[in-house]
Structure 1
Amino acid sequence: MFTSLRSKFALLFLAFIAVPALLGVIGMGALRAVNDPATEVREVWLPKLRMLAALNDHLSDFRLAEGDFLAATDEEERAAQAVLIARLGGDIAATIAEYRVAQLAESDAKEAQTFDQFILAWAAYREIATRLMAQALSLDRQAARQLYRTENQQAYARASDLLDALTAADIEAAEASRDQANSVYDDTSMRFVVIIVGVVGLAVLAMAMVNRTISSPLIQLVGVLTRIARREIDLTRAAHRAARRDWRDCPRH
């Protein structure tokens, strides 16, 4: 099978067509496999981490604004801080709603539970902040400061800790998606290396076949023709010797 020159070259030709086609199929599959976790990182985890970072900033600013509200020395400054606190509260509520939409797209029960706990902690903290501002406005500054340093501080720490836990969980999930993409990329790279080695092997085999079946016989033929042209070979004598040899080999009756 595949003993003729035509069959061998046909087989090599088919191999050189099949290998690039195989590379293309593997390449498309690899791109899809790498793109899926990369898309998840880009479209899911990075936006969620951005929201959590915004929540963390707003929460810290809210706490600072409370302190500035207590330290205000006149009504104008206190009113400005009250406006800032209200705006930060609205920003936190909007970011929570935005994160809720992104979180519902995922099916991580642990993350959902932590997020629900954060919402409750934020609500408790906001309620204490409202009481604190009411006490400050009623000129009960000492009680307001005591509330700020105790119950209010504890509520803030609780909400902040839950926010940190959410951030750590999302970072871990994003890193897992990144590691998956890297693993797929490494596996695909190894496959391409193996295929490239195979292509090089086919090329070497083709060169050896061409050399054996075409180049070497042609070189030998050119050498013979050159010797004939230089009269190094007498075709008449060679023909006579061949005829006598054939005559001797003929059976006699």
Structure 2
Amino acid sequence: MPRLLHMKRHSIRRRLSAIFTAFGLLLVIFGLFSIWRLAEVYDASAEIRDRWLISTRLLGDLNNSTSDFRAAEASHLLAPDRVEMGKTEKEVAELSGAIAQARTSYEKVLHDSTEDKLWREFTEDWEAYRRVADEVIRLSSEGKKAAGNRLYLTRSRTAYSAASDALGVLTDRTVGSATEASNRAQAIFQKTRSLIVLAVAFLVFLSILVMRHISSSVLGPILDLATRMRSLATNQTDIETPGTERQDEIGEMARAIVVFRDNAIELAHSKRGLEQQAAMFAEKLEQEQRLTDLQRNFVSMASHEFRTPLTVIDGQAQRLIRMRDNGITGAELVERVEKVRMAVRRMTNLIDRLLNSLQVFEGTAELYYHPTKFDLAELLHDLCQTYREITPGAQIVENLRNAPRTAVGDPKLLYQAFSNLLSNAIKYSPNGSLVELSAYAEPGGQLIVVEDHGIGIPPADRERLFERYHRGSNVKGVVGTGIGLYLVKMVLEMHHGNIAVESVEGKGSRFIVRLPMAGQSNA
């Protein structure tokens, strides 16, 4: 009886049970730790999704709607008859509804005390402006244009500036807070990834120690015993049987063999379980990284695509300011305002297209485009005129005498593609250098050439020139996202066209676009 109790205290089964129990507890702790860290990552992402993305979108809508409301106020004063006034009043009503809806939605989002204070300042300033704006519209409707103009240029302008400034301060703070939240989420994700990698490494190291211990204290004697047993199977009865002095299951030959066989099977199952856990955590980390990349891509793409229409709006506004002192006619004012509104419409269209292009960049959907007949020469001329106004220091020469008058394609997408090429030619050229845009008809299609005398493209960069996010090695210090030429290539491929480049580093570049003739773009 004392011998049996002593054997139980040193039982291999008890030792292995303690080891695997401790190892199982470590796995449970590791799993709970991973869940806790991933939950923290999820909470940080949820804050960005449920608070900052919504807030920035609503503030962007408010900025657009309030500026449109101010423009509608001016349009009412400039309306020549009651019909135009009625249209403007309808637009004012629609904008009022949109602003009210955006304000209601914004107030439902959680905000801190500073944001609430800035929001109250904006709402008070906006209500004050609305009262003055309503008075301007009333005077205009009653035919008192002179009084309406005076009120529009004095009290209305001051009230609108106060509301716009308050909204701008709130928007800047929200964008800054959103950036901080994004940085926090990124830091949490990186810390979580590092901790999980360390934990996995620790578990692997611990597994190695456990396996070495089992091999030296259990498997080795079993293998030796198996050799003895095989010898016994060959009727070698004169062998010595070691281990008879051990106070454990190895001393009991038949049952020890069965116990260690089962333990070997259990060890194999545990190893497969560890591999499955490691694969699962690797997949989770890959999904989180993919989400982070999508958010970063969207922000960079949106900032690149919105730059041109916003610059058009700014250029037209500066032109109006310069023309104010020299006198401006109603027709000129309407023309400038229409160009501003055209840029706003183009930017609104870009928003819809950017949302769809996220799926395109992931390879999950096709970019929708709307082909129609349009005047290619007029489109290129308007593009040159736009860049002459927004970049007065550039010398843009257009050679469109032989340009085709009729083309088939999506004029908005093609305008954006040629705008990217012309913008790059100006941006990567010295101020005041010559930039040429030419268009010709050729057998089977049209030829459009954009040529500059700028920094050129290094030979090593040309192979990857049209890859997404790739930028040349010689463009440091020049702002860019690396997606402009990628989008150009996408648009041309949709139109069954192609693009080629000729460049000498330090002397300039020449981009050659070929489009099929009218009627073949959808072939």
TM range (shorter): 0.7 to 0.9
What's the TM-score, normalizing by structure 2? 0.40
Matched-pair identity in %: 28
Of 70, 81, 84, the residue aligned with 1:74 is 81
| Partner AA of 2:107 in structure 1 | R
Alignment correspondent of 1:135: 139
Question: Matched residues in 2 for 1:64 and 1:220: separation?
Answer: 93
User: 1:56 corresponds to which residue?
Assistant: 63
Residue number in structure 2 paired with 1:170: 174
Larger relative strand fraction = 2
Cα distance change of structure 1 residues 153 and 182 upon mapping to structure 2, 3 Å threshold: same
Partner of 1:243: none
Q: Residues 208 and 56 from structure 1, CA distance in 2 versus in 1: closer, same or farther, beyond 3 angstroms?
A: same
Structure with larger Rg? 1
Matched residue SS, 1:150: helix
Q: How does 1:80-229 map to 2 (within 5 A)?
A: 80-102=87-109, 105-106=110-111, 108-217=112-221
Which residue is 1:30 aligned to? 37
Counterparts of 2:31 and 2:148 in 1: how far apart (Å)? 70
Name the CA shift for 1:24/1:219 in 2 (closer, same or farther; >3 Å): closer
**1:3: how far off?**
7.0
Contact 2:126 2:163 in 1 (8 A): yes
Output the amino acid matched with 2:173. Answer: A
> Residue type matched to 1:202 in 2?
L
Residue equivalent to 2:46: 39
CA apart distance, 1:78:
1.0
| Residues 137 and 148 in structure 2, CA contact (< 8 A), matched pair in contact too | yes
Equivalent residues of 1:5, 1:213 under 8 A apart: no
Residue 96 and residue 226 in structure 1: after superposition, are their counterparts in 2 closer, same or farther (change >3 A)? closer
C-alpha separation between the residues in 1 aligned to 2:174 and 2:204? 45
Unaligned 5+ residue runs, structure 2?
1-8, 241-523
TM-aligned CA distance change 1:98 to 1:206, over 3 Å? closer
Post-superposition Cα deviations, 1:76-129, rounded to whole Å, max 9, x if no partner, equal 111110121122123223322332233xx43x2221111111111111211221
Offset, 1:45: 2.4
Q: Is the 8 A contact 1:124 1:155 kept in 2?
A: yes
Which runs of no fewer than 5 residues in structure 1 stay unpaired? 230-234, 239-253
Deviates more, 1:172-181 or 1:110-119: 172-181
Q: What is the alpha-carbon distance in structure 1 between the residues aligned to residue 203 and residue 21 of structure 2?
A: 12
Q: Aligned with 1:200: secondary structure?
A: helix
Between 1:149-158 and 1:69-78, the stretch displaced more is 149-158
Please give the secondary structure, in 2, of the residue aligned with 1:13: helix
Alpha-carbon shift at residue 34 of structure 1 (Å): 2.0
Once residues 104 and 232 of structure 2 are traced to their aligned partners in structure 1, the CA distance between those partners, rounded to angstroms, is 96
CA RMSD after TM alignment: 3.1
Contact 2:38–2:192 under 8 Å retained in 1: no
User: Aligned-pair distance for 1:227?
Assistant: 10
Residue 94 to residue 227, structure 1, CA distance change in 2 (3 Å): closer
Give a deviation string over 1:218-248, Cα, whole Å, max 9, x none: 565677899999xxxxx69x9xxxxxxxxxx
Q: How many Å apart are 1:18 and its aligned residue? A: 1.5
Of residues 14, 21, 24, the one that matches 1:17 is 24
Q: Name the count of aligned residue pairs.
A: 232
- Higher percent of residues as helix: 1
Structure 2: distance between partners of 1:220 and 1:56? 82
219 and 148 in structure 1: CA distance in 2 versus 1, 3 angstrom threshold: same
Separation (CA, whole Å) in 1 of partners of 2:178 and 2:11? 58
Distance 1:225 1:14 in 2: 31
Q: 1:180 to 1:3 in 2, by over 3 A?
A: farther
Range 203-212 or range 5-14, more displaced: 5-14
CA contact (8 A) 2:66 2:99 kept: yes
CA distance in 2, matches of 1:75, 1:145: 17
| 1:170 CA drift (Å) | 2.0
